[in-house]
Structures are given as C-alpha cells and as structure tokens.
Amino acid sequence: MKKIKMLSRGKTILTCITLFATVSLAVLMYFNRDWTLLWMYHDKSQEITILETQKEFWLPKWFSSRSQDAIVDKKPNTLQLDGWFHASARLDVSTSTYWSAPIVWDGTFKKSVLEDYYSKQKVTVGLTVFAIGKYLDKYLKTFLSSANNFFMVGHKVIFYVLVDDLSKMPWIELGPLRTFKVFQVNKESRWQDISMMRMKTIGDLIQSHIKYEVDFLFCMDVDQVFQGDYGLETLDESVAQLQAWFYKADKEDFTYERRPESTAYIPLMQGDYYYHGAVFGGTPLRVFNLTRECYEGIRRDKERNIEAVWHDESHLNKYYLRNKPTKLLSPEYCWDYKIGKSADIKNVKLSWMPKEYDVVRNNS
C-alpha cells in the first residue's frame, strides 16, 4: 500500500516537473521570439543576430546575471547622424510615412552632412545582383559598369555577382574602393523560380560571407542602369523602393496577392505602399530576416500548390506590411521612362532597361 502511494506521489512530482519545464520553455521562447524564429529558419543564424544588433537572448535575472554583457558589437557607434533630411524641402510630394520613416526624394537630403558623418563612421556597402541565362549576356555589363560609376562613389563597395556561367563574366575595370565577388549558382528551370530563389541564395550568402564584410546591403535586379549618384542618403536599417507605376495609385489598385490561400495575401483595404521587388536593402541582419521570411512564404506556398501573382515581389510586399521599412526611396531611385514625363521626378538615379521579352525570355 505504502509502495503504491509512493509511486503515485512520484508520478505527480514527475508530472509537475514536466509541466514546469514546458511552461518555462514556452515563456523563454515567447520572450525571445526573434531568436526562436531565426533558429527555426537556420541553425547558425544566432551568430548574425549577435554580430549585427545588440539584441540579447532574454533570460530571467535570477537565472543568469551574466547574460546581459555577453554581446559583441561589430562597430560601436557613438556618432549621431542629425540634420541630413529636410522633409519640407519638397512640398509637391509626400516625404514621410505615417510611421515617420523618411521618403527620400531629390532635394530632401544634405549630401555634405552625410559625407561628413560617413567620413568619420566609415562603411562598406554590398550590392547583390543575379544574372542567369540570357540576362547575363544582355544586362550584366551595363548594370555593373553604371554601378561602378554611380553607386556609393567614394565609399567601399563590394558587388556580389551571382551567375550561372562564370566564363561569361564581363570584363569591367572597377574604380577605386570597389571590388566584386562572383558566385556560381544553378539555373532554375522555371523563370519564376530564378526570380524567387534569389531570396534563398541571398540569405545563404549573408550567412556565409556578407555579414562579415559589409555594413549595409542592397539587392537589385540586373535589368536596370544607374544614371546618377546613388549615395549615402539611401542607407538605413531597412530600405524599400516605391514602385514607379504605383506611387500615386490607390491602395485597392495595388497588385498585391489577393488570394487568402497564399502566404503573401493582403486583404483589399490593407497595405501602405506598393514596393518594388527590384530594389531592397538594409543592414545584413535586416536583409537576412527579410529574405528568410519571404523564402519561407514562397516554400509554404509551393507546398500548397499556389504561386503568388508577382512572385517574390508579392512576398516582399507582405513582409514590409508586417515589418515597416525604416526608409523609403522615391521612384527617382528606380524609374521607368516608359511612364513618360513627370514633374515629381527631378533626378533619376536608376532606371529600368527596356524589357525585350522576345530576346531575354526565351531563356533556354
């Protein structure tokens, strides 16, 4: 009888311990949501969190008093960047979002203030670009030579070029402070996958190289050409590009994914802006989070046999709806001359190349 009593008491204690452990784990995971998500996406992703931000893994104080000082800052930054942006310098366009992120238009920024700040706070900026199949022959040379002339002139730049055929890499003489790193990637058989798989590849590349090498990163389409200075005013934690054809459109006309079955779904009356998939950027950590979340959405859609209407761009729009960008770039930073003359557009820094679908889209 005594034995039975002890056994059942043992069981109760065991149940209590299990319950306590489960609840504690749940509480820890809740307070460390960012870490938990990153950990689910990738095994080593915590490294990047520690390096790039001062995000700390939360532990109750009584559990460890040392947990608070175990963080390494990549570049301690004591300088303050003030007075670079003048929202009221352009009254003809909107220069701020409702969550107070600047929308950078020509005339709204003070180049001298930025140059002064970044001469003390030196930065290296990365730029990824994919050129697969016909896009390599047709667009890469123009993109890279124009980037060499106009992208972050006077500052250290690393071009990360991803191609399917290394032997076709064009010869380009780069200016001072710039270099490139070329990577071979497999060519996906469907063009939609060429575009979408960029999200996975960029995330992997941030893990393996980029996080050690740059302070800010941009990711761009190759079918574009730089036309004017694309400079320090574009740098921020999370940077999104307004799509040139939609910057004045009503939100119900945005071409978001409207089917609830897709992870990129945005209901009709929701949304802030229509962002362009051809340009996005930020710190390596922020871009990493973006690419992982978009890729996760793409993967889950594939499992459900659905593909978002504008592929990676639809997922990007969903991501930015949930994670507001800290800076927006006006359509001058990615203009399509096919739109025609517009008084808003004072100074084009990057423009779309003609599509010529008959040449590039017969992509065998």
Annotated active-site residue 233? The verdict is no
Select the span of 128-136, 153-161, 173-181, 298-306 touching ligand 4GW (CB under 6 A).
128-136
Smallest distance, Å, CB 340 to Mn ion? 19
Smallest distance, Å, CB 285 to ligand 4GW? 23
If the CB atoms of residues 140 and 235 are measured against ligand 4GW, the closer one turns out to be 140
* Residue where the block lists tokens 């423009």: 351
For position 135 contacting ligand 4GW by CB under 6 A, the verdict is yes
Tokens representing 174 are 């780069």
Residue 190, binding choice from ligand 4GW, Mn ion, none, Cβ under 5 to 8 Å by partner class: none
Select the span of 93-101, 169-177, 187-195, 208-216 touching ligand 4GW (CB under 6 A).
187-195
- What are the residues whose beta carbons fall under 8 Å from the beta carbon of 362, sequence distance 6 or more? 134
Select the span of 25-33, 217-225, 238-246, 253-261 touching ligand 4GW (CB under 6 A).
217-225
Task: Report the sign of the C-alpha dihedral through residues 191, 217, 264, 314, in that order.
Answer: negative
If the CB atoms of residues 103 and 334 are measured against ligand 4GW, the closer one turns out to be 334
Select the span of 44-52, 64-72, 170-178, 216-224 touching Mn ion (CB under 5 A).
216-224
Helical (H) or strand (E) element with 224: strand 224-226
Smallest distance, Å, CB 245 to ligand 4GW? 11
Q: Are 274 and 255 in contact (CB under 8 A)?
A: yes
Smallest distance, Å, CB 342 to ligand 4GW? 20
Of 57, 183, 191, 246, which lies in the binding site for ligand 4GW, with binding defined by CB under 6 A?
191
Residue 222, binding choice from Mn ion, ligand 4GW, none, Cβ under 5 to 8 Å by partner class: ligand 4GW
Helix axes 284-303, 311-322, angle to 10 degrees: 120
Of 223, 236, 293, 301, which lies in the binding site for Mn ion, with binding defined by CB under 5 A?
223
Angle at 66 between CA 63 and CA 71, to 5 degrees: 125
When computed from its CA atoms, the radius of gyration of the chain, rounded to whole angstroms, is 24
Positions of E strands within 46-192? 103-104, 124-131, 156-163, 178-184
Question: Which amino acid type is present at position 167?
Answer: S
Smallest distance, Å, CB 277 to ligand 4GW? 6
Of 38, 114, 244, 278, which lies in the binding site for ligand 4GW, with binding defined by CB under 6 A?
278
DSSP code at position 60: -
Select the span of 9-17, 77-85, 130-138, 330-338 touching ligand 4GW (CB under 6 A).
130-138
Tokens representing 188 are 């996906």
Residues 66-97 as b or e (16 or more Cβ within 10 Å = b): eeeeeeeebeeeeeeeeebbeeeebeebbbeb
From residue 222 to residue 261, the character string flagging contacts with ligand 4GW as x (rule: CB under 6 A) and all else as - is xx--------------------------------------
How many beta carbons lie within 10 A of that of residue 137, not counting itself?
Answer: 14
Residue 361, binding choice from ligand 4GW, Mn ion, none, Cβ under 5 to 8 Å by partner class: ligand 4GW
Distance between CA atoms of 144 and 157, rounded to whole angstroms?
Answer: 12
For position 106 contacting Mn ion by CB under 5 A, the verdict is no
Query: Catalytic: which of 47, 313, 332, 356?
Result: 313
Phi, psi of 327 (to 5 degrees): -155, 140
The CB-side HSE value for 307 (13 A sphere, CA atoms) comes to 10
For position 194 contacting ligand 4GW by CB under 6 A, the verdict is yes
- What are the residues whose beta carbons fall under 8 Å from the beta carbon of 5, sequence distance 6 or more? none
Distance between CA atoms of 107 and 313, rounded to whole angstroms?
Answer: 28
Tokens representing 339 are 């739109």
Residue 158, binding choice from Mn ion, ligand 4GW, none, Cβ under 5 to 8 Å by partner class: none
Of 35, 105, 118, 130, which lies in the binding site for ligand 4GW, with binding defined by CB under 6 A?
130
Q: Which residues bind Mn ion (CB under 5 A)?
A: 221, 223, 278
Q: What is the contact surface with ligand 4GW in residues (CB under 6 A)?
A: 130-135, 191, 194-195, 221-223, 278, 361, 363
Catalytic residues: 313
